[in-house]
Amino acid sequence: MMHDYLDEEISQEHEKELKTHLQSCEACKTHFHELKKTVALVQSTSHIQAPDNFTQNVMAKLPKEKKKAGMNR
Amino acid sequence: MESIVKKRIQQVRKGDQDAFGEIVELFKDRVYHVCFRMLGNRHEAEDIAQEAFIRAYTNIHTFDIDRKFSTWLFRIATNLCIDRIRKKKPDYYLDAEVSGTDGLTMYSQVETDDPLPEEEVESMELQESIQKEISRLPDKYRSVIVLKYIEELSLKEISEILELPIGTVKTRIHRGREALRKQLRSI
């Protein structure tokens, strides 16, 4: 049910059940908290960008256009 | 965006190589980012991301124009990443720290002698630790976690990229999340 919750696929009924259980079960509460923290940490990684000249480098490595295809490699 | 991409693909198919440059520009950051999170290393990510575009170009005639181009492109890129991960020797994980550090040299590109503010160092260290733990995940979990949480793709799209049933994707996300939970617990 915790995973259904994290997948946003939990039914209202199960969500209620989960929440009630978490209030009384320390182990599950910790587990659930750790899972939520895991997701938050992974999502907190910064978005990095491709290096400079990436496109030029790709274009330079493309096989020559088809007319000369026979001569490639 | 999709219609521009389709137009460019048709131009590429007619032999207009320059049109492919526009496709690379549109997708390079997303593809590079996925490769970086999969591989944990800047140089390898660049290498594999370039290779993904080159393969997309040489196989452009096999792409079904009625489908989403990014799904196809991510499939090429993730397959290349998984191949690269599997080719590494098992002792690769001993190097994880080194390659993890290497992967973060992007920060050192901001060359400056000024000491970084404390919170920045902290967050760099945190980022580094998270990446290190992602890199420790078995590749089948790593790919779903990266596509879901870094690229924020839907289960359906992930299942198309990895050519797996949605149920399998879900199970892998659950297991990947559990594995990461244990690894990240102390952070």
Search chain A and give the residue with CA nearest B172: A3
Distance CA B173, CA B148 (A): 8
pLDDT at B33 over 70: yes
What pLDDT, on a 0 to 100 scale, did the predictor assign at position A69? 45
- What residues contact B20, with CB distance under 8 A and at least 6 apart? A59, A62, B8, B12, B53, B57, B60
Mean pLDDT taken over chain B: 86
- ipTM entry: 0.82
CB of A52 less than 8 A from some CB of B: no
Of residues B10 and B106, the one with the higher pLDDT is B10
CB of A38 less than 8 A from some CB of B: yes
CB of A54 less than 8 A from some CB of B: yes
B130-149: pLDDT as tens digits: 999 999 999 999 999 999 99
pLDDT at B110 over 50: no
A-chain residues near B17 (CB < 8 A): 59, 62, 65
What pLDDT, on a 0 to 100 scale, did the predictor assign at position B109? 38
B153-173: pLDDT as tens digits: 999 999 999 999 999 999 999
Q: How confident is the model at residue A62 (pLDDT cuts 50, 70, 90)?
A: very high
